[in-house]
Chains A and B, each alone.
Chain A
C-alpha cells in the first residue's frame, strides 16, 4: 500500500507547537511500523525554510525521491483576502499533485493551516477525498466561535476547512473525546472517525534531572518553596489559569506558605498584567505566583520533575498532552474532569470540577495533605503514561488506513480538466504572471513514469578535468546497474533578473562534447529525482544564480545537485 503523508503540519508555525510535534512523531512512528507499505511525503515548496530542514530530518527514513514538493501559484495565505482565488487554485493543484503520486491512501497531518502562512489544505475540491484521512486535533473554534473565530472572514476560512474535513473519508482523532466530539458536532458516521490517541516524546521520563539541575531551574525562575506547577501548553482563556489562581487564593494559609504556584507558559505582556492583577485580587502576595514565560523542553522536564504536584485545570482540550507529559516525568497529576482530560489522567480521585475554584482548592489541599494519595498518583501516573506510545498510535493509524482501502480509488483527473477548473475559479486573474505561475505549477506535477535525467552544466565540463569527471560519473552510474540516464546539456543564464538553467545551444554543447538538446535557450524542466552536475560555486554565473536562490530552489524541489570538478561526486 502506498501511503502519501502531507506533512505541512510540520512546516508552518505549527512546527514549533504541539501540532508540528504530533505530525513529526506520528510520521516517524508510521515509518517505523510501516512494514511493506511505501511511505511518501508531500511538502509545500512555498514554506521554503522548512523543506530543507525536513529533508534533513527524514534523511535515512524516507528516500529522497519519495519526498515530493508541490508549488503554489504565488502567495496564498488567506489573511490577505485577495489571495483567496490563488489559494483555491493551489488547493486543486495540491490535490492533483498528490493524486498523481498514485496513493492508496493520503494522510493529512494538519488541515487547519494556511491563514497566516502559505500552507494549502483541502479535501475533495478537485479530487475525491474518499481515500484521504485527516488527523483531527479538536474542534474548539467551531464549538466556541465567539472566542476563536470572531471575525466573519476568519470564520469563513475556518468553515471552509470544516467542509473539507467532512469530505475526508476518514478522520484520525487524537483522543476518544475528540472522536465523539467530531461525530456529534459534524454529524459524521461513527465508522468514519477512529481514535488513534497520542503519546509524549521519549525525553519525558522520570529521574533525568539531577538535584543540581532542579535546583538550578528553581533558582532561575525564583522558586523558593514547594511547587504547584501548571504548564498549560499555551495561554488561552480555556486553559482556565485565572480559575487556578482563584483556587490558590482559597487554599489554607499553611499550604500557601509551603507552596508557590508556577505557571510555565508563553504569556503576552497584557495577559501577564491581567493575571497579576487577578492574583492580587485573589489575595496572593509577592512570590506566591511565578510566571516563567516560555520554557524549552529541557527546562520543562526539569520543572515537571521538581514539582510537588501538577495541576491541569483546562476547560476544553482535544487531548491534554501536558498532563501526560507530567505523569511520564513521575509527577503526581490532578486535573479537570472535562472533555478529554479524564481519558488522559485515567483516575477518578485525581479529577476536579474546573469551573469551581473551591473544588480545585479542595482537591489540591486533599492531595498535598495525604502522602499516601500523592504516592498513589505518582504510581498511577507512571503506569498510565506507559499506556501511550507513538508506536501504538502509529499502528492504530496504519490499521485505520488499511481499512480505508476498501473504498474505491480515485484516479488523478486529466490535466486538461484541471486547466478548465482553474479557469472557472471566480476572481482568479488571467494576467500573464498568473498564467506563467499556474503553468509552472502544472509542469511540476509529478510524473512517476519519467526516468531521471542527468543535466550537465556545460560550464562545468568545458575544462578537460570536468569532462573526465563527467565520464567517470556516467561510468559509475552504469557500474551501479542504473539505466544510463539521458544526458542533457544546460547553461546558466538570467532574464529579467531571474536565473535559470536553460538548454544549451548546439555549439556550446558540442564544445563540451555533449549531445545538443532540442530546444536551446528555453528554461530546462528540472524535476524531482533528476541529477544536476553544476559548475563550481566560485564561477561568476553560479555565484549570481546561487545568490538568486536557484540552487536552493532546485534542492527543495528534489533535484540532486553535485558540484562537478576534478573530484568525482561521492554520492553519485
Chain B
C-alpha cells in the first residue's frame, strides 16, 4: 500500500514539477543559472539534461525537398501518392 502511495505521489510530483521546470528552462537567465549549478553538481547533469532536451525541439535541418507535391518529379510524386494513400487509410 505504502509503495503504491509513493508511486502515486511520485507521479503527481512529476506531473506538477516537470512542466514548471520546462517552462523555466525557456528563460535564458535560468538556463545560465542551471549551467552554474550543474558545474557544481555534475551528478545531476544527466537527469536535468534529459528534462531540458526533451523540451528543446531540434532546430530544423535545411533539406532540399520541394515544398509542394505538384513540384515533385513524376517518380517521386508516385511515391508521395502511394504514401499518402497509406496514411489516409490509417486515418480512415
Question: Which residues of A does B touch, CB under 8 Å?
Answer: 46, 71, 74-75, 77, 79-83, 118, 150-151, 153-154, 268-271, 415-416, 419-420, 422-424, 430, 432, 435-440, 442-443, 495-496, 498-500, 503, 518-519, 522-525, 548-550, 553
Query: A420 contacts B58, CB within 8 Å?
Result: no
Query: Which one, A154, A271, A423, contacts B89 given CB within 8 A?
Result: A423
A500-B64 contact in complex given A271-B42, A436-B80, A442-B79, C-beta closer than 8 Å:
yes
Contact (Cβ within 8 A) B69 A443: no
B68 and A495 within 8 A (CB): yes
Task: Please state if B65 and A437 are interface contacts (CB–CB under 8 Å).
Answer: yes
| Alpha-carbon gap, A522 to B70, bound state (A) | 8
**With contacts A430-B84, A495-B67 known, what are 4 further pairs, Cβ within 8 A?**
A71-B63, A416-B82, A423-B87, A523-B66
Contacts of B42 in A (CB 8 A): 268, 270-271
Q: Do the beta carbons of A150 and B66 come within 8 Å of each other? A: no
Nearest-CB distance from B36 to chain A (Å)? Answer: 10
> Which of chain B's residues 51-92 have a Cβ closer than 8 Å to chain A?
53-54, 56-69, 71-77, 79-80, 82-91
Q: Which of B1-60 contact A (CB under 8 A)?
A: 39-42, 46-47, 50, 53-54, 56-60
Question: Complex: how many Å from CA A75 to CA B57?
Answer: 10
> Do the beta carbons of A495 and B71 come within 8 Å of each other?
yes
20 contacts between A and B (CB under 8 A): A46-B61, A75-B58, A79-B54, A80-B56, A80-B57, A81-B54, A82-B57, A268-B39, A419-B83, A423-B87, A435-B83, A435-B84, A436-B72, A436-B80, A495-B66, A495-B67, A495-B68, A495-B71, A503-B73, A519-B73
A71 to B76 alpha-carbon distance, docked (Å) = 14
Tell me if A436 and B82 are in contact (CB < 8 A). Answer: no
Cβ contact within 8 Å between B63 and A442: no
Residues of A contacting B84 with CB < 8 Å? 430, 435
Cβ-closest chain A residue relative to B58: A75
**Chain A residues with CB under 8 A of B86:** 419-420, 422-423
The CA of A437 and the CA of B82, in the complex, are separated in Å by 14
Chain B residue, CB-CB nearest to A502: B71
Flag if B75 contacts A525 (CB, 8 Å): yes
B73 and A443 within 8 A (CB): yes
A439 to B58 CA separation, bound complex (whole angstroms): 22
Whether B79 lies near A154 (C-beta < 8 A) is no
Q: Assess whether B66 is in contact with A519, with CB atoms less than 8 Å apart.
A: no
Check if B73 sits within 8 Å of A74, measured CB to CB.
Answer: no
Q: How far is the CB of B24 from chain A (nearest CB, A)?
A: 18
- Take A80-B54, A83-B58, A118-B61 as given contacts and tell me if A442 and B83 are in contact as well, using a CB distance cutoff of 8 Å: yes
Residues of chain A with a CB closer than 8 A to B56's CB:
80
Residues of A within 8 A of B53 (CB): 79-80
Contacts of A269 in B (CB 8 A): 39
A424 lies within 8 A of B90 (CB): yes
Which chain A residue shows the least CB distance to B89?
A: A423
Q: Which residue of B lies closest to A524 (CB)?
A: B73
Q: How far is the CA of A500 from the CA of B63 in the complex (A)?
A: 11
CA A79 to CA B48, docked complex, whole Å? 12
User: What 9 A-B pairs have minimum CB-CB distances, sorted nearest first?
Assistant: A423-B86, A439-B80, A151-B50, A430-B87, A75-B58, A443-B76, A79-B53, A496-B67, A442-B79
Is there an interface contact between A150 and B65, defined as CB atoms closer than 8 Å? Answer: no
Q: Which residues of A contact B91 (CB under 8 A)?
A: 430
Look across to chain A and name the residue whose beta carbon is closest to the beta carbon of B43. Answer: A150
Q: Report if A439-B90 is in contact (Cβ < 8 Å); known contacts: A81-B54, A498-B67, A523-B72.
A: no
Are B60 and A75 within 8 A (Cβ)? yes
Asked whether B79 lies within 8 Å of A439 as measured between CB atoms, the reply is yes
Which residue on chain B has the smallest CB distance to residue A76? B58
Rounded to whole angstroms, the CA-CA distance of A495 and B65 in the bound complex is 11
Closest to A268 in B: B42
- Cα–Cα distance between A523 and B67 once the two chains are bound (Å): 11
Q: Please measure, in the bound complex, the distance between the C-alpha atom of A435 and the C-alpha atom of B76, giving whole angstroms.
A: 11
Chain B residue contacts of A419, Cβ below 8 A:
79, 82-83, 85-86
Are the CB atoms of B50 and A153 closer together than 8 Å? Answer: yes
Query: B72 near A522 (CB under 8 angstroms)?
Result: yes
Determine which of B47, B58, B62, B83 lies in contact with A77 in the assembled complex, contact meaning CB atoms within 8 Å: B58
Interface pair A151/B83, CB less than 8 Å apart: no
CA distance A503 to B66 in the complex (A): 14
Bound Cα distance A525, B76 (Å): 8
List A contacts of B77 (CB < 8 A): 439, 522
Q: Cα distance A411–B77 when bound, in Å?
A: 25
- Distance from B35 Cβ to chain A, minimum over Cβ atoms (Å): 11
Query: B39 near A270 (CB under 8 angstroms)?
Result: yes
Per the bound structure, the CA–CA distance linking A153 and B76 in Å amounts to 36
Instruction: For A151, list chain B residues within 8 Å (CB).
Output: 46-47, 50
| B73 and A435 form a contact (CB under 8 A) | no
Given contacts A153-B54, A439-B79, contact A430 B90 (CB under 8 A): yes
Contacts of A270 in B (CB 8 A): 39-42
| Nearest B residue to A439, CB-CB | B80
Q: Which residues in B have their C-beta under 8 angstroms from that of A118?
A: 61
Complex Cα–Cα for A271 and B83 (A): 51
A152 nearest CB neighbor, chain B only: B50
Between B74, B75, B83, B86, the greatest number of chain A beta carbons within 10 A of the residue's beta carbon is seen for B83
Bound-state Cα–Cα, A118 to B61, Å: 10
Interface pair B90/A549, CB less than 8 Å apart: no
Output the nearest chain A residue to B81 by Cβ-Cβ distance.
A439
CA distance A500 to B57 in the complex (A): 27
The answer for the CA separation of A151 and B14 in the assembled complex, in Å, is: 13
Question: Which residues of chain B are within 8 angstroms of A432 by Cβ–Cβ distance?
Answer: 69
Residues A500 and B90 in contact, CB atoms below 8 Å apart: no
A499 to B67 CA separation, bound complex (whole angstroms): 11
Q: Verify A436–B39 contact, CB threshold 8 A.
A: no
Residue ID in chain B nearest A118 by CB atoms? B61
Residues of A within 8 A of B73 (CB): 443, 503, 519, 522-525
Contacting pair B63 A74 (CB below 8 A): yes
Q: Given the complex, which residues of B lie within 8 Å of A46, measured CB to CB?
A: 61
In the complex, which residues of chain A have a beta carbon less than 8 angstroms from the beta carbon of B88?
430
The reply to whether B40 and A436 form a contact with Cβ atoms under 8 Å apart is: no
CB-nearest residue of chain A to B69: A436
